[in-house]
Chain A
Amino acid sequence: MTVPHSVRIAALVLATTAFYGYVGQLVPQKEVQPPQETVLKADMTTADMVKIGGELMVGKGLCLTCHTIGKSGALRFPDLEGVAARATTRIPGLNEIEYFAKSLYEPDSFIVPGFNPGMPVINKPPIGLTDQEILCVIAFLQTLGGTPTVTLQTSHAYYKAPGATPAAPGGAPGNATPTNATPAKGPVTP
């Protein structure tokens, strides 16, 4: 007995869609949850901040979709290994904390030589890290070729910690208050 053509066509349509559906099951299955609003405790130590900063760089901050840590060769985005050491030399007069703050709040104001602009503004949507979260990220960045010094009381050109010491403690030599950094333009806090 021969199977009617309409039945065969239906079987083919079914088999083809089922096959593609199956291919979809073969690839890694990952559900991406929207970023959680974590509450940062006010009494975090610098070590805690480094840990949180590392998580933020993978997760909510999306940094590692672009950046690499410890890769060389023809790169599309600056590698971040040892960036804390380089950061002190990028813009004369800026210590690494001020430089990182500038890279994150106003990325297009200074472009790393050899790269194209393209870094998003980190405190604005879609990434939208809070000022405290950015401090944690800076703490983590400091570990890449330096020692972390920031605390939640650290202020910089884009953020004034409530009732905190005016200048950033620690950092590399020659880190007077930034001369050419624009003082926070308008309200930076959301």
Chain B
Amino acid sequence: MNRKLLFVLGPVTGLVMFGAVVLIATFLTNREYKEPYRAPAAIVDATPRAAGLTDEKAAADATNRAKPYVEVEYRAFPVVGSRVAIWAVAQLHLLFAAFVLAVPIFAVLIEAIGYKTGDRRYDRLAHEFTKLLSVSFSLTATFGAALTFMLIILYPKFTNYMMSVFSPTFLPYVGLFFAEAFFLYTYYYGWGKFHPLVHLFLGIGLNVVGTSIMLIANAWLTFMMSPNGISDGGALISTWDAIYNFTWMPINVHRFIANVAFGGSVAAAYAAFKFLHATTDEERAHYDWMGYIGNFVAIIAFLPLPFAGYWLAKEIYAYSQTLGLTMMGGAFSWLFIIQAVLIGNLFLGANYYLWLGMGRVEGARSVQRFIKYLLIAIAVCFMVWATPRSIIATVAEIRAMGGSSHPILGFLGVMSAKNTAVNILILTTFMSFLLYRRTGKTATVSWAKAGHAAQLLIFASAAIIVISLGIYGYFVEASVRIGLSVPQVSSVLFAMVAITTIDVFLFRRPRMTGDVRWGRMPAVSQYVLIFIAVTFTWLMGLMGYVRSGLRQHWHVYGVIRDTSPDAFTPTLGFATQVVSLTVLLFFVLIGFVFWLASLHDLPDYDPVHSPHSPLLAADGHKAERSS
């Protein structure tokens, strides 16, 4: 017998034998004696079937008619449950809203630069950014409507309470939304149709309205975290106080900046998407530049974010130490480790992109040799920052460790070390920027040497101040230590401003040693841009979770308790899965937006000359290139 047949026969025999066993087993069980089934006497109904049915119906009608109206507190969402459903929808709404609010901010700025300098490229770039807006705006509105309905359906009692506190804010919100639509569409469709100043005015109007919308929405969600303007029992005393609660302003600021950073990174991802699909060198040059600007916006906005974040944290502590400690020391402390991983990746990605960008410039070697030191600095800071501050532990463990911080890890993990690490990360990224700026240039002013020395001195002293204050922080009282972050931050800010100022004058009329060749970027740089955008989106999702998760078993912290089945705080593993899912959904949708925006550049459909004919396609490209 040959081997092939053996191979087949083996399993076949196995199956046959299995079948036989099943057959025999059923045969045996069927033969066993069983009592025939009889309905127990009690449930046998003697009424004839028809009469029974009418009786039953009448009884049901009677109970229905007598049913009292009861207000429900919650309704359940099928399959995934109410929490996950509302979470995903709210997060998608926020992501699109952030994008729609952010793009006009830098689009108007870029347009204004174009107007000021007369450089048409800027105008075109700004226009290209706004192309992404209109579809995103519709998606924002759709998710907003879905969110509202779901709140009313799934959380009626809580929603009602929010209405009672914030009733005067809802109609203005709708009005502003209308104004937003008006400005957005006139700004977009009116591009190049009005006097530039009129057009710029439309853009500014769009931003004012957009920001006001955000301020109102932030009032609702910050109130849930740090309620104000109400009595102990939750009755409204002053709507204005409810709006102007402890965390309202810090979140307005933190979000505004985070939105710009996020919007910039997503716009850069769009440019990367176009770069990778580009067929001509001009296109590549254009989208390389667009990606660079998008990323520039993202990073510039990203640098002050930690400061805004610490301010927010400080206000949360000021509102309630308990809330602050839940965030930084309690159940959520590990979340900030994940945040540190994300932020470390963002810093690394941003620096890496800049370093790759030096390849655009000829003669960048002299600058590129510094990069390894920057890389080391980033890696060390990252490790310090990602060290857990305190760990959830049992009483016995806490006693054994002498406090809620780990004896060794806790040492690195205390606030002081983190502040220091963040400040150094910021300084490092700033240096990367500076180095990038000066690739291919040599300063020609007479005081060039002194200028460089001064810059280096300022940089070194800022770094030394930051680090020594960080070390000093271990030896002083907590109340003193908290105050130390102020001189740390101000020396970093001072260094950035001073060094930039010197740089501007230093490179007044530089000798160019190499040209910038836009488009001469390896494809991997574009994937880095996309990676940054995904990381940013994920960060938004994670921080959105910490904001609402922080309240734990409260809808409105300390006032309206969550009594639904979802009142517990899920594990971080679960939360990150939900975040990952919403991020993926967001990218599917934004991919659709990108695709729609790039339809614009395709030739119109022509039924006679099908674009699929290779000959004509080549022609089409030629036509595009010459236009």
Known: A5-B277, A70-B402. Contact between A65 and B322, CB under 8 A? Answer: yes
B186 to chain A, nearest CB (A): 33
> How far is A35 from B322 in the complex, measured between Cα atoms in Å?
15
Known: A17-B538, A54-B395, A69-B399. Contact between A34 and B320, CB under 8 A? Answer: no
Known: A126-B557, A126-B558, A127-B322. Contact between A18 and B580, CB under 8 A? Answer: yes
Which residues in window 1-36 of A have CB below 8 A to B?
5-6, 8-10, 12-14, 16-18, 20-21, 23-25, 27-35
Which residues in window 74-121 of A have CB below 8 A to B?
74-76, 114, 116, 118-120
Which residues in window 27-61 of A have CB below 8 A to B?
27-35, 54, 57-58
The answer to the question of B576 belonging to the interface, with a C-beta cut-off of 8 Å to chain A, is yes
Q: Digitize B296-335: 1 where CB-to-A-CB distance is under 8 Å, 0 elsewhere.
A: 0000000000000000000001001111011001110011
Q: Is the CB of B531 within 8 A of A120?
A: no
> How far is A58 from B404 in the complex, measured between Cα atoms in Å?
12
> How far is A165 from B587 in the complex, measured between Cα atoms in Å?
68
The answer to the question of A64 belonging to the interface, with a C-beta cut-off of 8 Å to chain B, is yes
Binds A, one of B80-88, B287-295, B565-573: B565-573
**With a CB–CB cut-off of 8 A, which chain B residues contact A17?**
534, 538, 580, 583-584, 587
Known: A27-B338, A68-B404. Contact between A13 and B584, CB under 8 A? Answer: yes
B216 to chain A, nearest CB (A): 26
**With a CB–CB cut-off of 8 A, which chain A residues contact B557?**
126
> How far is A10 from B530 in the complex, measured between Cα atoms in Å?
10
Q: Is the CB of A116 within 8 A of B479?
A: yes
B497 to chain A, nearest CB (A): 33
Q: Is the CB of B276 within 8 A of A30?
A: no
Among residues of A, the one whose C-beta sits closest to the C-beta of B335 is A27
Q: Kindly state the interface size class of chain B when it binds its partner.
A: 35 or more
The answer to the question of B452 belonging to the interface, with a C-beta cut-off of 8 Å to chain A, is no
Q: Is the CB of B572 within 8 A of A32?
A: no
Q: Is the CB of B527 within 8 A of A12?
A: yes
Q: Is the CB of B334 within 8 A of A21?
A: no
The answer to the question of B481 belonging to the interface, with a C-beta cut-off of 8 Å to chain A, is yes
**With a CB–CB cut-off of 8 A, which chain A residues contact B321?**
66, 118-120
**With a CB–CB cut-off of 8 A, which chain B residues contact A57?**
395
Q: Digitize B548-574: 1 where CB-to-A-CB distance is under 8 Å, 0 elsewhere.
A: 000011100111011000011111110
Q: Digitize B565-596: 1 where CB-to-A-CB distance is under 8 Å, 0 elsewhere.
A: 00111111101110110011001000100000
Among the listed A5, A25, A58, which residue makes an inter-chain contact with B395, where contact means beta carbons less than 8 Å apart?
A: A58
Q: Is the CB of A24 within 8 A of B575?
A: yes
**With a CB–CB cut-off of 8 A, which chain A residues contact B342?**
20
Q: Is the CB of B573 within 8 A of A74?
A: no
Which residues in window 524-538 of B have CB below 8 A to A?
527, 530-531, 534-535, 538
Which of A5, A16, A35 gathers the greatest number of chain B CB atoms within 10 Å? Answer: A16
**With a CB–CB cut-off of 8 A, which chain B residues contact A6?**
277
A186 to chain B, nearest CB (A): 11
Q: Is the CB of A30 within 8 A of B531?
A: no
Q: Is the CB of A24 within 8 A of B584?
A: no
Among residues of B, the one whose C-beta sits closest to the C-beta of A20 is B538
Q: Is the CB of B334 within 8 A of A14?
A: no
Among residues of A, the one whose C-beta sits closest to the C-beta of B275 is A5
The answer to the question of B448 belonging to the interface, with a C-beta cut-off of 8 Å to chain A, is no
**With a CB–CB cut-off of 8 A, which chain B residues contact A54?**
395
Q: Is the CB of B395 within 8 A of A20?
A: no
Chain A residue total in the interface (Cβ 8 A): 48
The answer to the question of B26 belonging to the interface, with a C-beta cut-off of 8 Å to chain A, is no
Q: Is the CB of A16 within 8 A of B535?
A: yes
Among residues of B, the one whose C-beta sits closest to the C-beta of A31 is B571
Among the listed A5, A24, A35, A66, which residue makes an inter-chain contact with B325, where contact means beta carbons less than 8 Å apart?
A: A66
Q: Is the CB of A74 within 8 A of B477?
A: yes
A128 to chain B, nearest CB (A): 8
B283 to chain A, nearest CB (A): 13
Which of B321, B325, B392 gathers the greatest number of chain A CB atoms within 10 Å? Answer: B321
Q: Digitize A124-158: 1 where CB-to-B-CB distance is under 8 Å, 0 elsewhere.
A: 11110000000000000000000000000000000
The answer to the question of B353 belonging to the interface, with a C-beta cut-off of 8 Å to chain A, is no
**With a CB–CB cut-off of 8 A, which chain B residues contact A65?**
322, 325-326, 329-330, 404
B554 to chain A, nearest CB (A): 6
Q: Is the CB of B403 within 8 A of A25?
A: no
> How far is A14 from B573 in the complex, measured between Cα atoms in Å?
17
> How far is A30 from B595 in the complex, measured between Cα atoms in Å?
41
Q: Is the CB of B403 within 8 A of A21?
A: no
Q: Is the CB of B558 within 8 A of A20?
A: no
The answer to the question of A176 belonging to the interface, with a C-beta cut-off of 8 Å to chain B, is no
Among the listed A5, A34, A124, which residue makes an inter-chain contact with B552, where contact means beta carbons less than 8 Å apart?
A: A34
**With a CB–CB cut-off of 8 A, which chain B residues contact A62?**
322, 325-326, 330
The answer to the question of B366 belonging to the interface, with a C-beta cut-off of 8 Å to chain A, is no
B58 to chain A, nearest CB (A): 43
Q: Is the CB of A27 within 8 A of B337?
A: yes
> How far is A71 from B407 in the complex, measured between Cα atoms in Å?
11
Among residues of B, the one whose C-beta sits closest to the C-beta of A71 is B403
Among the listed A9, A21, A35, which residue makes an inter-chain contact with B276, where contact means beta carbons less than 8 Å apart?
A: A9
**With a CB–CB cut-off of 8 A, which chain B residues contact A75?**
478
> How far is A79 from B248 in the complex, measured between Cα atoms in Å?
33
Q: Is the CB of B577 within 8 A of A21?
A: yes
**With a CB–CB cut-off of 8 A, which chain B residues contact A64?**
395, 398, 404
Q: Is the CB of A13 within 8 A of B477?
A: no
**With a CB–CB cut-off of 8 A, which chain B residues contact A14?**
584
Q: Is the CB of B568 within 8 A of A8?
A: no
**With a CB–CB cut-off of 8 A, which chain B residues contact A25?**
573, 576
Q: Is the CB of A24 within 8 A of B572?
A: yes
The answer to the question of B394 belonging to the interface, with a C-beta cut-off of 8 Å to chain A, is yes
A96 to chain B, nearest CB (A): 21
The answer to the question of B232 belonging to the interface, with a C-beta cut-off of 8 Å to chain A, is yes
> How far is A31 from B575 in the complex, measured between Cα atoms in Å?
11
Which residues in window 450-485 of B have CB below 8 A to A?
474-479, 481
> How far is A32 from B334 in the complex, measured between Cα atoms in Å?
14
> How far is A64 from B391 in the complex, measured between Cα atoms in Å?
12
Among the listed A9, A24, A68, which residue makes an inter-chain contact with B530, where contact means beta carbons less than 8 Å apart?
A: A9
Q: Is the CB of A21 within 8 A of B576?
A: yes
Interface residues of B (CB under 8 A from A): 232, 273, 276-277, 317, 320-323, 325-326, 329-331, 334-335, 337-338, 341-342, 391-392, 394-395, 398-399, 402-404, 474-479, 481, 523, 527, 530-531, 534-535, 538, 552-554, 557-559, 561-562, 567-573, 575-577, 579-580, 583-584, 587, 591
Sample of 7 further A-B pairs with CB below 8 A, known A5-B523, A34-B553, A58-B395: A12-B531, A14-B584, A30-B571, A69-B399, A114-B477, A124-B232, A124-B558
12 contacts between A and B (CB under 8 A): A17-B583, A21-B580, A24-B338, A27-B337, A28-B572, A29-B571, A29-B573, A34-B567, A69-B395, A70-B399, A124-B232, A126-B558
CB-based closest 3 A-B pairs: A24-B576, A34-B553, A76-B478
